[in-house]
Protein backbone atom coordinates (compact mmCIF):
# COMPACT_ATOMS: atom_id res chain seq x y z
CA UNK A 1 0.00 0.00 0.00
CA UNK A 2 1.35 3.38 -0.98
CA UNK A 3 1.88 6.26 1.48
CA UNK A 4 -0.73 8.40 -0.30
CA UNK A 5 -3.28 5.61 0.00
CA UNK A 6 -2.58 5.17 3.70
CA UNK A 7 -2.88 8.88 4.32
CA UNK A 8 -6.14 9.06 2.36
CA UNK A 9 -7.56 6.03 4.15
CA UNK A 10 -6.65 7.31 7.59
CA UNK A 11 -8.19 10.68 6.77
CA UNK A 12 -11.42 9.13 5.50
CA UNK A 13 -11.65 6.62 8.31
CA UNK A 14 -11.46 9.37 10.89
CA UNK A 15 -14.61 11.00 9.46
CA UNK A 16 -16.60 7.85 8.82
CA UNK A 17 -16.17 4.14 9.08
CA UNK A 18 -14.97 3.41 5.55
CA UNK A 19 -12.94 0.42 4.37
CA UNK A 20 -9.64 0.98 2.61
CA UNK A 21 -8.70 -0.60 -0.67
CA UNK A 22 -5.02 -0.80 -1.60
CA UNK A 23 -5.31 0.45 -5.18
CA UNK A 24 -2.74 2.91 -6.45
CA UNK A 25 -3.80 6.45 -7.17
CA UNK A 26 -3.01 8.15 -10.47
CA UNK A 27 0.65 9.04 -10.61
CA UNK A 28 1.69 6.43 -8.02
CA UNK A 29 2.96 4.06 -10.68
CA UNK A 30 5.51 6.64 -11.82
CA UNK A 31 6.90 6.84 -8.31
CA UNK A 32 7.17 3.03 -8.04
CA UNK A 33 9.05 2.80 -11.34
CA UNK A 34 11.44 5.50 -10.18
CA UNK A 35 12.37 3.53 -7.06
CA UNK A 36 13.45 0.56 -9.20
CA UNK A 37 16.13 2.66 -10.90
CA UNK A 38 17.75 3.93 -7.70
CA UNK A 39 21.38 2.81 -7.46
CA UNK A 40 22.62 1.65 -4.09
CA UNK A 41 26.00 2.95 -2.99
CA UNK A 42 28.09 0.17 -1.58
CA UNK A 43 31.56 -0.26 -0.14
CA UNK A 44 33.27 0.07 -3.52
CA UNK A 45 31.92 3.57 -4.16
CA UNK A 46 34.40 6.43 -4.44
CA UNK A 47 33.87 9.70 -2.61
CA UNK A 48 34.77 13.07 -4.08
CA UNK A 49 37.03 14.96 -1.75
CA UNK A 50 36.99 18.73 -2.19
CA UNK A 51 37.09 20.60 -5.47
CA UNK A 52 38.70 18.51 -8.18
CA UNK A 53 38.32 15.16 -6.37
CA UNK A 54 41.07 13.11 -4.73
CA UNK A 55 43.67 14.22 -7.22
CA UNK A 56 43.09 17.88 -6.38
CA UNK A 57 42.97 20.07 -9.45
CA UNK A 58 40.95 22.75 -7.69
CA UNK A 59 41.95 25.70 -5.58
CA UNK A 60 40.14 27.55 -2.84
CA UNK A 61 40.49 31.29 -2.31
CA UNK A 62 40.29 32.27 1.34
CA UNK A 63 39.08 35.80 2.21
CA UNK A 64 39.52 36.92 5.82
CA UNK A 65 38.27 40.19 7.30
CA UNK A 66 40.72 41.92 9.61
CA UNK A 67 40.14 44.56 12.27
CA UNK A 68 41.28 48.04 11.28
CA UNK A 69 41.35 51.40 13.06
CA UNK A 70 42.99 54.79 12.53
CA UNK A 71 45.55 55.82 15.15
CA UNK A 72 47.48 59.06 15.69
CA UNK A 73 50.72 58.28 17.55
CA UNK A 74 51.57 61.98 17.19
CA UNK A 75 49.64 64.96 15.85
CA UNK A 76 50.78 64.69 12.20
CA UNK A 77 51.58 60.98 12.21
CA UNK A 78 48.63 58.89 10.99
CA UNK A 79 48.63 55.08 10.98
CA UNK A 80 46.17 52.33 10.17
CA UNK A 81 46.35 49.67 12.86
CA UNK A 82 45.46 46.27 11.41
CA UNK A 83 44.81 43.36 13.77
CA UNK A 84 44.23 39.76 12.78
CA UNK A 85 41.07 38.83 14.69
CA UNK A 86 40.27 35.84 12.46
CA UNK A 87 40.78 32.17 13.25
CA UNK A 88 43.42 31.88 10.48
CA UNK A 89 47.03 32.96 10.49
CA UNK A 90 47.64 35.03 7.35
CA UNK A 91 50.56 33.50 5.40
CA UNK A 92 53.42 35.52 3.93
CA UNK A 93 52.14 35.16 0.34
CA UNK A 94 48.68 36.57 1.21
CA UNK A 95 47.61 39.95 -0.11
CA UNK A 96 46.31 42.31 2.59
CA UNK A 97 44.13 45.10 1.19
CA UNK A 98 43.54 48.29 3.19
CA UNK A 99 40.80 50.83 2.39
CA UNK A 100 40.80 54.18 4.24
CA UNK A 101 37.83 56.56 4.38
CA UNK A 102 38.12 60.29 5.07
CA UNK A 103 36.04 63.07 6.57
CA UNK A 104 34.19 65.18 4.03
CA UNK A 105 34.53 62.38 1.43
CA UNK A 106 37.63 63.95 -0.05
CA UNK A 107 39.81 62.39 -1.19
CA UNK A 108 37.79 59.31 -2.11
CA UNK A 109 38.55 56.05 -0.35
CA UNK A 110 42.28 55.37 -0.43
CA UNK A 111 43.24 51.75 -1.15
CA UNK A 112 46.61 50.11 -0.78
CA UNK A 113 47.85 46.54 -0.44
CA UNK A 114 50.85 44.69 0.89
CA UNK A 115 51.82 41.09 1.65
CA UNK A 116 51.52 39.20 4.93
CA UNK A 117 52.32 37.46 7.20
CA UNK A 118 50.07 38.35 10.08
CA UNK A 119 49.73 35.82 12.90
CA UNK A 120 46.50 35.36 14.84
CA UNK A 121 46.08 38.28 17.25
CA UNK A 122 49.06 40.17 15.82
CA UNK A 123 48.88 43.92 15.05
CA UNK A 124 50.56 45.79 12.23
CA UNK A 125 50.90 49.57 11.97
CA UNK A 126 50.74 50.93 8.42
CA UNK A 127 51.82 54.58 8.07
CA UNK A 128 49.45 56.70 5.97
CA UNK A 129 51.16 59.36 3.89
CA UNK A 130 48.72 59.81 1.03
CA UNK A 131 47.09 63.23 0.36
CA UNK A 132 44.29 63.76 2.86
CA UNK A 133 45.63 61.20 5.34
CA UNK A 134 45.14 63.65 8.22
CA UNK A 135 41.38 63.53 7.52
CA UNK A 136 41.24 59.72 7.78
CA UNK A 137 38.61 58.46 10.20
CA UNK A 138 38.02 54.81 9.38
CA UNK A 139 39.39 51.84 7.54
CA UNK A 140 38.68 48.26 6.53
CA UNK A 141 41.17 45.50 5.83
CA UNK A 142 41.00 42.00 4.44
CA UNK A 143 43.48 39.29 3.54
CA UNK A 144 43.16 37.05 0.49
CA UNK A 145 45.18 33.98 -0.42
CA UNK A 146 44.85 30.73 -2.31
CA UNK A 147 44.74 27.42 -0.44
CA UNK A 148 45.89 24.37 -2.43
**3-class secondary structure for the chain?**
CCHHHHHHHHHHHHHCCCCCCCCCCCCHHHHHHHHHCCCCCCCCCCCCCCCCCCCCCCCEEEEEEEEEEEEEEECCEEEEEEECCCCCCECCCCEEEEEEEEHHHCCCCEEEEEECCECCCCEEEEECCCCCHHHEEEEEEEEEEEEC
Q: Is residue 3 situated within a structural domain?
A: no
Which one has a higher pLDDT value, 122 or 130? 122
- Number of domains within the chain: 1
**114: domain range?**
59-147
42 compared with 10, residue with greater pLDDT: 10
When pLDDT is averaged across residues 32-48 and rounded to a whole number, the result is 45
Q: Is residue 9 part of a domain?
A: no
Q: What confidence category does residue 51 fall into, taking pLDDT thresholds of 50, 70 and 90?
A: low
Residue 137 lies in a domain: yes
- 86 domain residue, yes or no: yes
Per-residue pLDDT, 130: 87
Of 65-69, 105-109, 133-137, which gets the smallest average pLDDT? Answer: 105-109
Of the pLDDT bands very low, low, confident and very high (cuts 50, 70, 90), residue 38 is very low
Are the beta carbons of 18 and 12 closer than 8 angstroms?
yes
pLDDT tens readout for residues 87-122: 999 999 999 999 999 988 777 889 999 998 999 999
Contact 93, 121 (CB under 8 A): no
CATH number at 79 reads 2.60.40
Amino acid sequence: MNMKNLLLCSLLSSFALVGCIGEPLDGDLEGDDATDTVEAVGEGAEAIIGPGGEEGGGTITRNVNLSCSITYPSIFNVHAEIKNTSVYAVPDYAKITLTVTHYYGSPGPYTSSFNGPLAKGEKKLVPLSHPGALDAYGCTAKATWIVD
